[in-house]
Structure 1
Amino acid sequence: MAIVNWPASLVPAKVTWGLQSNTETFTSPLNRSTQTLERPGARWKASLEMPRMDPDTRGQLEAFLVSLGGMAGRFRLWPHARPVSAIGVGASDYGVVLDFVNQSYQAQGSPMVSAALSNYKLLPTTYWPASTRVLKAGEFIEVGGELKMVTADVTSDAAGNAQIPVAPAFRKAPDIGAALVLDRPKATMMLSTDEFSVGVSEGARRISDAVVIAVVEAWT
């Protein structure tokens, strides 16, 4: 089944977005000291609360959810609360067109991965504006098809290079030259259950009840 994008026309009224880490804990039977190991496989989880919808919008949502075939379907979803980097504006010496209505921008060039990863929580990048704070802690980026959160403010050096601390760790190192996605960075998600339902109020307008959709990151 093809991976599709979450429809841009379906805007949640409330989004809860978080990370499910993958750890293993050992507690000593002798003195109760505890050791915890972080394992690969942390994944994003989200809950999308859709507002009461008119029949046309409700039809779009129902059609999209039905097309997924329950948990079998895969779709690309961005964190609606932080759809675009507030500071990073693309590669230096490239034109940038800002779109404040849609909270996005388009750049002719893009910051990219500049070297092989030696630390899977630290991303080396280049083509930023020189000596500038380019990313804020808590913003999202997408690289190599993986969604990451920036864990500290990032300032570029005089040559436009920047080391970006991210979490969770990369599952696979992105290629040198891979572009950073700052405008609606996405993760591949699946529904958390095979079932959904939409309640509809009686009356001529047929307005639906609010709908909560739980999703979780998925990969192969």
Structure 2
Amino acid sequence: MPDAILELPLTLVQSLERRLVTATAVAASPFTGSEEVQDWGGEWWDYGIEMARSTGRDGRRLSAFLAALGGPRGRFLFRDPTIRQPGSLLAPQVAGGFQTGSQLVTAGWPPFSTPLFAGDFFSLGTDAQTRLHQLTADVETDEAGAATIAFVPRLRTAPIDGTPLEVSSPAVVLRLAAPVPTRIGRAESFLFTLAAREAL
């Protein structure tokens, strides 16, 4: 499959930093100090990922994985371990085509419930089209199990009607922001710190 993307091994993630970046510019008047904000509409995730210390063959395998990406040329799938909901049986999907913006009509939730809350994550799409989103309001469903959800970042493309939302193990496609140096210490111990951004 030419569009398939390799996943970063989660067992080696020690800590991470995640931030939502917006394409905005602020210009301040030198006379009044008032500011004008220009929103260009772009939004994406930036990650700083610190990998746990590994040794021997495990370290060399991870080094090979990162080298094969070729710096910013390659992309990889990352299932952020801090936002997983293991054991979740939720199976919501997009209800209706041609949707854009930061709200989405969905179906397939348990009726009359609040299955997810503001701050929870979900992803849409597969492989290179996978996009990560964070809810900005609680999901409140009606008698039919439908709900309009609000989230960031905004949709970049309209999802197809019936597209499933990944809730239990949301993912994001990342691209390295810079080549990753291999730091090798005593007893052949390896340390890696990755700077990456959403691959758009």
TM-score bracket for this pair, using the shorter chain length: 0.7 to 0.9
Alpha-carbon distance between aligned partners in 2 of 1:40 and 1:142, rounded to the nearest angstrom: 20
1:158 partner amino acid: E
| 8 Å contact kept, 1:117–1:124 | no
Q: In structure 2, what is the equivalent of residue 207 of structure 1?
A: 189
The letter for the 1-side match of 2:85 is V
Structure 1 gaps, min length 5: 91-109
8 Å CA contact 2:8–2:77 kept in 1: the answer is: no
Deviations 1:97-136 (A, max 9, x none): xxxxxxxxxxxxx211112455511111001000111112
Change (3 A) 1:10 1:69: farther
Q: Confirm or deny that 1:184 pairs with 2:165.
A: no
Rounded to whole Å, the distance in 1 between the matches of 2:99 and 2:28 is 31
- What is the number of residues matched between the two proteins? 195
- Post-superposition offset of 1:6: 2.1
Structure 2 residue runs of 5 or longer lacking an equivalent are: none
Q: Does 1:159 align with 2:144?
A: yes
The sequence identity of aligned pairs, in percent, is 27
Which secondary structure state, in structure 1, belongs to the residue aligned with residue 12 of structure 2? Answer: coil
Deviates more, 1:130-139 or 1:21-30: 21-30
| Structure 2 Cα separation of the partners of residues 73 and 49 of structure 1 | 19
Residue in 1 that maps onto 2:27: 26
Give the corresponding residue for 1:103: none
Scaled by the length of structure 2, what TM-score is found?
Answer: 0.87
- Do the aligned partners of residues 15 and 9 (structure 1) sit closer, same or farther apart at CA in structure 2, a change above 3 Å counting? closer
Q: Which amino acid aligns with 2:139?
A: V
With over 3 angstroms needed to count, the CA separation of the structure-2 counterparts of 1:5 and 1:30, relative to structure 1, is same
Q: Quick one: which of 111, 115, 128 aligns to 1:130?
A: 111
* Residue 5 of structure 2 is aligned to residue 8 of structure 1: no
Deviation at 1:78, TM superposition (A): 2.1
For 1:46, what is the secondary structure of its paired residue?
strand
Deviation, structure 1 residue 30: 4.9
State the Cα RMSD in Å: 2.1
**What is the Cα deviation at residue 186 of structure 1?**
1.4
Q: Secondary structure at the match of 1:22?
A: strand
- Aligned residues of 2:180 and 2:194 also touching (Cα < 8 A): no
TM-score by structure 1 length?
0.80
The one-letter amino acid paired with 2:73 is A
Indicate the structure whose relative CO is greater, using CA pairs within 8 Å and at least 6 residues apart.
2
Distance 1:20 1:3, change over 3 A: farther
- The CA deviation string for residues 138-158 of structure 1, in whole angstroms up to 9 with x for no partner, is 111112321111112112111
Cα distance in structure 2, aligned partners of 1:55 and 1:10: 16
Specify the code of the residue in structure 2 equivalent to 1:74: R
